């Protein structure tokens, strides 16, 4: 039973601690890949950094044009990684003599036999196809991004063009073309035959034969034959793999065996999301209510203080006015009395003069 991102979000919003996890999600069974699956062998000693594989990948997958054209080799001077608009990139790791003029490596999804991304995905958005490709179904993806964390090769990337329907973007090994009997776009476009497509077991045989014939050219190791349980994208090189930006600390244990303990807690964590989010909402809501009450109390107190201070000022003003009024009355009375006394004296002096 598939679960869309929107229905999952609705389910999370209304769920409690108890959650119903599909049976396919509950168990992370040990899976050793499909027999007779296909893969690609990348011979780094033959790669000249022409970027033809990048151009073909863009065309086959209808990806947007890059900022710089594919014949611009200046981009090789900066180590790049795959992203939602570049399913594969070629990087230059060393300078070198003609005709190659450097040491190059193509990077893309390695299509693990036992994919860490599939093991980490609790809704089954990633699956391993019988043809060998690790494929992604965006219709069931819920956007948790555990696959990004789980991948030991740092390959999957997210696109956020639509906030409600972000997608994981990565190489598909051109699975639709492979099912039609065609070569992956990058393999078909490589002018140096640095990429070889075929059954994985046959590719390992080819790689070993090249190393046997040219022991002075190749490092005696097929990268991907056993790393993290094996991958369907294999590498041979004339340079140590760590000097090509590749991890050499992964060991041979499949990723699901390393993550099964942690992944068993995923359904529990998902079930706790509503409770956690609900608790956070309640706390924030309570904080808002308290903050609002404190603000209202502060405003009321300020009004009270302002009102009291205003009334006190009015009272003092009235008292001052009354006092000033009293002074004015007294002054006028005194003035009137003085004028009356002066007039009386003048009258008396006039009579005495007669």
The answer, yes or no, to whether residue 347 has pLDDT greater than 50, is yes
Residue 273 pLDDT > 90? no
> What is the distance between the alpha carbons of residues 259 and 126, in angstroms, rounded to a whole number?
16
164-178, 247-261, 324-338: least confidently modelled range: 324-338
Q: Which of 43, 28, 37, 57 is nearest to 121 (CA)?
A: 28
Q: Does residue 99 have a pLDDT over 90? A: no
- Is residue 329's pLDDT more than 90? no
Out of 125-139, 243-257, 272-286, pick the least confident.
Answer: 272-286
Take residue 263 and report the two structure tokens written for it: 């992944």
Q: What is the per-residue pLDDT for 13?
A: 46
Greater pLDDT, 27 or 314: 314
Q: What Rg value do the Cα atoms of the chain yield, rounded? A: 42
**What is the band of 154 on the pLDDT scale with cuts at 50, 70, 90?**
very high
**What pLDDT sits at residue 19?**
39
Question: What contacts 24+ positions apart, CB below 8 Å, involve 174-177?
Answer: 174/60, 175/129, 175/131, 175/133, 175/135, 177/60
For 68-83, what is the mean pLDDT? Answer: 94
Q: How far apart are CA 269 and CA 276, in angstroms?
A: 10
Q: 124-138, 273-287, 303-317: which range is least confident on average?
A: 273-287
Residue 312, sorted as left (phi over 0), alpha (psi -120 to 50) or beta, turns out to be alpha
Reported pTM: 0.68
Structure token digits, residue 146: 């555990």
pLDDT grade, residue 301 (50/70/90)?
low
Query: How many residues in the chain?
Result: 354
Give one DSSP letter per residue of 123-141, joined into a string. T--EEE-TTS-EEE-TTT-
Model pLDDT, residue 214: 96
Q: Given pLDDT bands bounded at 50, 70 and 90, which one contains residue 25?
A: very low
Better-scored residue on pLDDT, 291 or 239? 239
Q: What is the pLDDT of residues 236-261, one digit of tens each?
A: 999 999 999 999 999 999 877 766 55
83-117 in b/e form (b: 16+ CB < 10 A) is ebebbbbbbbbeebeeebebbbbbbbbbbbbbbbb
Q: Are 56 and 188 in contact (CB under 8 A)?
A: yes
pLDDT class of 278 with cuts at 50, 70, 90 = low
Instruction: Answer yes or no: is pLDDT of 17 > 50.
Output: no
**Which range has the worst mean pLDDT, 8-12, 113-117, 224-228, 292-296?**
8-12
SS3 90: strand
Helix 266-353 and helix 5-14: axis angle, to 10°? 70
Choose the most confident range, by mean pLDDT, from 21-30, 149-158, 295-304. 149-158
The alpha helices in the chain, defined as continuous H runs, are: 5-14, 23-26, 52-61, 116-120, 146-150, 175-179, 185-189, 200-213, 255-263, 266-353
Calculate mean pLDDT across residues 256-284. 57
CA nearest to 170, candidates 144, 143, 151: 151
For residues 273 and 256, the answer to whether their CB atoms sit within 8 Å is: no
**Is 38 a residue whose pLDDT tops 60?**
yes
Residue 4 near residue 139, CB atoms below 8 Å: yes
Average of per-residue pLDDT across 80-109: 92
Res. 12 pLDDT band, cuts 50 70 90: very low
Over pLDDT 90: what percentage of the chain?
51
- CA atoms in the 13 A half-sphere facing the CB of 133: 17
């Amino acid at each position: 039973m598939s679960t869309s991102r929107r229905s999952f979000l609705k389910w999370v919003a209304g769920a409690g601690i108890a959650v119903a996890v599909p049976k396919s999600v509950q168990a992370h069974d040990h899976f050793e890949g499909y027999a007779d699956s296909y893969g690609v062998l990348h011979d780094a000693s033959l790669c000249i950094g022409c970027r033809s594989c990048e151009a073909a990948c863009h065309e086959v997958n209808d990806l947007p044009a890059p900022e710089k054209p594919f014949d611009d080799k200046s981009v090789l001077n900066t180590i790049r990684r795959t992203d939602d608009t570049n399913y594969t990139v070629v990087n230059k790791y060393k300078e070198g003599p003609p005709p190659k003029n450097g040491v190059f490596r193509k990077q893309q999804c390695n299509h693990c036999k036992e994919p860490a991304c599939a093991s980490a995905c609790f809704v089954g958005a990633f699956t391993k196809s019988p043809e060998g490709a690790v494929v992604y179904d965006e219709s069931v993806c819920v956007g948790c991004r555990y696959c990004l964390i789980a991948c030991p090769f740092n390959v999957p990337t997210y696109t956020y063009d639509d906030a409600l329907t972000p997608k994981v973007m990565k190489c598909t090994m051109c699975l639709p073309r492979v099912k039609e009997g065609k070569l992956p776009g990058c393999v078909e476009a490589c002018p140096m035959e640095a990429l070889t497509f075929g059954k994985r077991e046959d590719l390992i045989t080819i790689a070993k034969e090249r190393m046997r014939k040219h022991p002075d050219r190749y490092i005696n190791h097929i990268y991907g034959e056993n790393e993290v349980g094996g991958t369907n994208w294999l590498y041979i090189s004339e340079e140590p793999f760590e000097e090509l930006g590749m991890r050499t600390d992964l060991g041979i244990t499949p990723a699901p065996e390393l993550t099964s303990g942690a992944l068993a807690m995923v359904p529990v964590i998902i079930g706790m999301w509503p409770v956690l989010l609900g608790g956070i909402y309640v706390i924030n809501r309570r904080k808002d209510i308290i903050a609002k009450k404190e603000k209202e109390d502060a405003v009321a107190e300020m009004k009270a203080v302002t009102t009291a201070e205003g009334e006190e000022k009015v009272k003092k003003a009235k008292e001052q006015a009354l006092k000033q009024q009293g002074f004015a009355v007294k002054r006028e009375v005194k003035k009137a009395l003085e004028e009356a006394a002066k007039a009386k004296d003048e009258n008396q002096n006039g009579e005495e003069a007669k």
